[in-house]
Amino acid sequence: MFSLPLRDNAVLRPLESWHAEEFAAHLDRARDHIRPWVGPAFVTTDVAGARATLVRYGERQAADGGRLYGIWLDGTLVGGVMFTVFDADWGTCEVGCWLEPAGEGHGLVTAASTALLDWALVERGLHRAEWHCRADNDRSVAVARRLGMSLEGTRREAWPYDGARYDKQIWGILASEWRAHRT
């Protein structure tokens, strides 16, 4: 089946409903670490919730919409990347990511996001891609910069979390900029 090497010991693969138990176990390891940075519907607490998330993304992919991919490091699911938005008619997409602590520091999100952007902007011919993150998420901001994206704006206090509101940044890159960045 589809598997894209990211590093010698890391691969990117579709994350599908049959991975529900593995995804739930991964979220148990990642939950506290990722909760401030990802939407609450994503951070499920049991196998049924994990399956529902995977089914929701599977249905979106079947409609040529969002897609979800896992990152496995040494055979263990440690995170993933996704198209939270994929709109071929409008020529736009939004890429997102998450990692548990064991996956950090290996360049996995940058490599996986590069694969998604190559597919969306080059192979599928979309016009632009976006990256949304909390302004205080230094790791996510660093990935957007490594991908060659430009900070297009900040939505003030647009990210509610734990009784507070945080600024949300929107980063973007056009297909022509992506091709130039990749050469």
Q: What is the pLDDT of residues 27-64, one digit of tens each?
A: 999 999 999 999 888 888 899 999 999 999 999 999 99
Q: What is the pLDDT of residues 129-148, one digit of tens each?
A: 999 999 999 999 999 999 99
Q: Which residue has the tokens 């990117």?
A: 12
* Count of structural domains, the chain: 1
Burial zone of 2 (CB within 10 Å; 0-12 exposed, 13-18 middle, 19+ buried): exposed
What is the CATH classification number for the domain harbouring 69?
Answer: 3.40.630.30
Q: What is the pLDDT of residues 72-109, one digit of tens each?
A: 999 999 999 999 999 999 999 999 999 999 999 999 99
**Residue 34: DSSP 8-state:** H
Residue 115, pLDDT > 70, answer yes
String of DSSP letters for 142-169: HHHHHTT-EEEEEEEEEEEETTEEEEEE
C-alpha atoms less than 13 angstroms from C-alpha of 132 in its C-beta half-sphere: 15
Average pLDDT over residues 171-183: 96
| CA 143 to chain CA mean position, Å | 11
Structural domain of residue 131, as residue ranges? 4-182
pLDDT on residue 1: 60
